[in-house]
Amino acid sequence: MTHQPIAQTNEPSAEPSAEQADLPRRGFLGAAIGLGAMAAPLGSSAQTKPTALAPVKGTEHWVVKRADGKDVRLFMWHKRLAQPTAPSRGTLLFVHGSSVSSTPVYDLQVPGRDDASLMDWFARLGYDTWCFDCEGYGRSDKTRPVNADVACGADDLEVVSEAIMKLNGGRPLMVYGSSSGALRAALFAQRQPTRVARLVLDAMVWTGEGSPTLAERRKRLPNYLASNRRPIDRNMIRSIFTRDHPGTSDLSVVEAFADAVLALDDSMPTGTYIDMSSKLPVCDPAQINVPVMILRGQFDGIATERDVLSFFEKLPSPDKQVVIMPGIAHSSTRSKNYKVVYHLLERCFSQPEPLYRGA
């Protein structure tokens, strides 16, 4: 396949369109904020918390992926401070998983919870934040007869990253992916290491050996192979937060999350489920030569600790770390201990560059 990225920016009006009103967020904010080439150096001093309730603006963008002789439109969502007072601290790109589109995961708006949106949190810390819907998800095209597997998501990342880097002066991105989003991000970093400044892999799985969740999923593999899409409903979404260890997530937030997911989709592609059930490994840690942080929830049923550590050992970069997060299952950012995740991400993204790297 070939990629011909064409960034298209739509500046939303003061009043949201009917389509925008259906999105699971409130207070859709005005015009686009231009991305300048100026940026603070990596490792600039980190704030301990975001500027309290500083206004954040969101802008939708579209990019075209060329695949099988067709144009595939991908939805991108960008948030940053409405009135930045300093150069950007860096560009963050968030990658969603198998059963959700991007904005419910990374820009969830919950009344009374001004820290529910990971994008808002990091925008208030001075970062440019981006997410996007992979092909077959959310607002991106769903017309091709494909199951949107991990490799397809890595293709999407190549196009999206190229479009973002045209806007930020070519600065490499700090990429975070969760679950199959971690697999997409890892494969992308394997293919395009020069585009990745730092890589965070959350709820990562490598071989799948010993995974109780994947053992259950394999029982349904014939159903996944029979169709490019699988239905989702509220009970299925709830199960993401209860299957490994009930009690790790705030169920009131889970209901808001389910509302946001179901406002955009009633089915999801089967490709990543097929990959994780029958085709692992789908990336090679020995070829991912970028700074990496791996996050694993204590109770995550997707990957065992041994599987994660085996992946970690094979990463060639000396700038690597693995963290086991207490009291967290598979979906860390929607857990009761989400502040642990926010802290770890900020620590990673603000890490100073080493002055000495050896011979």
pLDDT tens column, 92-110: 999 999 999 999 999 999 9
pLDDT more than 90, % of the chain: 83
- Model confidence over 234-286: pLDDT tens digits? 999 999 999 999 999 998 899 999 999 999 999 999 999 999 999 999 999 99
Quick one: the chain helix, strand, coil %, rounded to 5? Answer: 35, 20, 45
- Model confidence over 141-172: pLDDT tens digits? 999 999 999 999 999 999 999 999 999 999 99
- Model confidence over 57-84: pLDDT tens digits? 999 999 999 999 999 999 999 999 999 9
Query: CA 285 to CA 282: how far, in whole Å?
Result: 10
Token output for 273 = 């489920």
90 or 5, higher pLDDT = 90
User: Taking Cα atoms as reference points, which of 77, 56, 197 lies closest to residue 126?
Assistant: 56
pLDDT value, residue 222: 98
What letter does residue 193 receive in the DSSP assignment?
A: G
Query: CA 313 to CA 318: how far, in whole Å?
Result: 10
> Does residue 281 have a cis bond before it (omega within 30 degrees)?
yes
CA–centroid distance for 276 within its chain: 17
pLDDT value, residue 49: 62
Token output for 351 = 């890490």
Token output for 166 = 């045209």
Query: CA 337 to CA 349: how far, in whole Å?
Result: 19
pLDDT at 10 exceeding the cut of 50: no
What letter does residue 169 receive in the DSSP assignment?
A: T
Tokens 């206004």 locate to 55
pLDDT value, residue 50: 62
Query: CA 326 to CA 142: how far, in whole Å?
Result: 38
pLDDT at 22 exceeding the cut of 60: no
pLDDT value, residue 311: 98
pLDDT value, residue 51: 58
pLDDT value, residue 325: 98
Q: Provide the mean pLDDT of the chain.
A: 88
- Model confidence over 177-189: pLDDT tens digits? 999 999 999 999 9
Query: CA 323 to CA 200: how far, in whole Å?
Result: 11
Phi, psi of 92 (to 5 degrees): -105, 140
- Got the DSSP string for 98-163? SS--HHHHHS--BTTBTTS-HHHHHHHTT-EEEEEPPTTSTTS---SS----HHHHHHHHHHHHHH
Superfamily of domain covering 56-349: Alpha/Beta hydrolase fold, catalytic domain (3.40.50.1820)
E strands in 229-270? 229-231, 267-269
273 CB-near residues (< 8 Å, 6+ apart): 98, 217, 224, 230
pLDDT at 24 exceeding the cut of 80: no
Phi, psi of 94 (to 5 degrees): -100, 135
Phi, psi of 64 (to 5 degrees): -110, 125
> Does residue 326 have a cis bond before it (omega within 30 degrees)?
no
CA 318, 324, 330, 333 torsion-angle sign: negative
160 or 35, higher pLDDT = 160
Judge residue 131's burial from the number of C-beta atoms within 10 Å of its C-beta, 0-12 exposed, 13-18 middle, 19 or more buried. Answer: buried
Write down the domain spans for the chain.
56-349
